[in-house]
Every structure is written in C-alpha cells, then in structure tokens.
Amino acid sequence: GQQLNQSPQSMFIQEGEDVSMNCTSSSIFNTWLWYKQDPGEGPVLLIALYKAGELTSNGRLTAQFGTTRKDSFLNISASIPSDVGIYFCAGQKYAGGTSYGKLTFGQGTILTVHP
C-alpha cells in the first residue's frame, strides 16, 4: 500500500533546541496532518493543513503544507521535556464516495529530549 516517508526516524536533542522533521510522498494529498503520540495513548492531532503552501502554528509548533502537495514539514522550537513522544505525519485524499477521509500515516519520528 501507499506509504509516506517520514524522517528522521528518531532524534535525541537537548532541552531548548529546535526540532525539524518532514514527510514526503510520491502522490498528492489534499490535507496534511501532524499527530503526537504519548506512551500508552492514542495519537492526538497537533496541526491540520488544508492548502498548498499553508503555514500554521500551534504554540511552539509550526507546520507547512508543501507547495507540490507531496510533502509537509513540522518544526518545534525551544523543545521541552514534555515534547517527548512519537510524531506522525498523515496525508488525506478527497477521493469521494467511500474513500473520503482515509488517512495514510508516516512511520513516525521518535523524539527524545534530554533535560
């Protein structure tokens, strides 16, 4: 099945550093989403992007919808220990009918923040 290539697979950073991760696809998506998953919990939506070129912020998080509609980027500024977790990108297509709303997920980026 179709997959998104998410990188890096893992990151080990010091508290206060900035973080960047990205997701690429061979096909176009209409929506890009970024989720965070804490241990033992389900993914929680961080940012949703609906238009090519869109740049959206949520606190210290900023995400961009690539202009080609085949990629997206997530940046976290001034990281703190509670940023630890797995970050997933997800793409969504509007295929109409019963395909509407399905998500394709990246493999995830494991973020570790050292105090």
Partner 1 sequence: NAGVTQTPKFRVLKTGQSMTLLCAQDMNHEYMYWYRQDPGMGLRLIHYSVGEGTTAKGEVPDGYNVSRLKKQNFLLGLESAAPSQTSVYFCASSPLRAHSNQPQHFGDGTRLSIL
CA distance 104 to 29: 10
Residue 108: name the closest of 53, 51, 37 by CA: 37
3-state secondary structure of 45: strand
- Of 68 and 94, the one with the shorter C-beta distance to partner 1 is 94
CA distance 41 to 114: 22
Q: Please report how close the Cβ of residue 95 comes to partner 1 at its closest, in angstroms.
A: 11
Q: Which residues bind partner 1 (CB under 8 A)?
A: 1, 3-4, 6, 9, 31, 33, 35, 40-45, 48, 50, 88, 92, 94, 98, 100-103, 105-108
Q: Please report how close the Cβ of residue 104 comes to partner 1 at its closest, in angstroms.
A: 8
- Of 102 and 114, the one with the shorter C-beta distance to partner 1 is 102
